[in-house]
Amino acid sequence: MIRPELIRWTRRNGEALAMIGLLICSAWVATRGGPVLLVMGAVMGLLALALLRSALLRLRFSRRRGDPGMVMVDELRVGYFGPDTGGFFEMGQVRAIDLMTYPTGAHWTLHGDGEPLMIPTAAKGAEQLFDVFASLHGFPMKRALDLVEGKGSSTTHRLWQRSPADDRKVRSIV
């Protein structure tokens, strides 16, 4: 029988583990001899490195688990289903994104025309927000990752605010 902790760890880190496996396969292909296999292995290796970097960034984005609620992303529509609150936001309607950090965790606040939507960073499925936020023109992903990982006092950080020129620049994350 496999320990439940090992199963959870493998599921959480599965994308990064698969890219490490692809990187090992690419090294094997590159060393089989001949210039064609060397080039194929090098291309596979570069692809694996790029995908591994992306997987590691996703892991940084969602380190903690256990806050109530569930996040659902359908193209550029973000939904949060919590025990007390919830709702949907079209990313084209989002005017600003804040990150509220506090000693026990953090939550995202999406501001738009209506009432703001607050999403805990440790809610189930919150790692999907990485791709959504990455699709926003000028979103400071490195700063967001650093703040999500950090611990400290209760502070609100305005990470992104839509400019009038950005209204046409929401890119698809498909």
Q: What is the pLDDT of residues 111-128, one digit of tens each?
A: 988 889 999 888 888 888
- Domain boundary residue, one of 61, 78, 93: 61
Which residues have a Cβ under 8 Å from the Cβ of 45 and sit 6 or more positions away? 23, 26, 27, 30
Mean pLDDT within 66-70: 82
37 is written with which tokens?
Answer: 């296999």
Whether residue 74 is found in the same domain as residue 146? yes
Q: What is the pLDDT of residue 22?
A: 95
**pLDDT of the residue at 152:** 56
What is the pTM for the complete model shown? 0.69
Give the separation between CA 120 and CA 152, rounded to whole angstroms: 16
Residue 30 pLDDT grade (very low, low, confident, very high; cuts 50, 70, 90): very high
Domain count of the fold of the chain: 2
Domain that holds residue 34: 4-61
Same domain for 81 and 140: yes
Q: Quick one: how far is CA 63 from the chain centroid?
A: 10
Tell me the pairing of strands 86-90 and 96-102: unpaired
Claim to verify: residue 74 and residue 19 sit in the same structural domain? no
Q: Does residue 106 form part of some domain? A: yes
Average pLDDT score over residue span 54-68: 74
132 to each of 14, 74, 81, 89, 105, how far by Cα in Å?
21, 10, 17, 11, 21
27 and 101 part of one domain: no
pLDDT for 148 equals 81
Residue 106: per-residue pLDDT:
85
Confidence label for 130 from pLDDT (cuts 50, 70 and 90): confident
Looking at residue 173, its pLDDT comes to: 46
Task: Say if residue 88 is in the same domain as residue 36.
Answer: no
The predicted structure's pLDDT at residue 165: 63
pLDDT at 1: 76
Residue type, 78: V
Q: How far apart are CA 101 and CA 108, in angstroms?
A: 9
pLDDT tier at 73, thresholds 50, 70, 90: very high
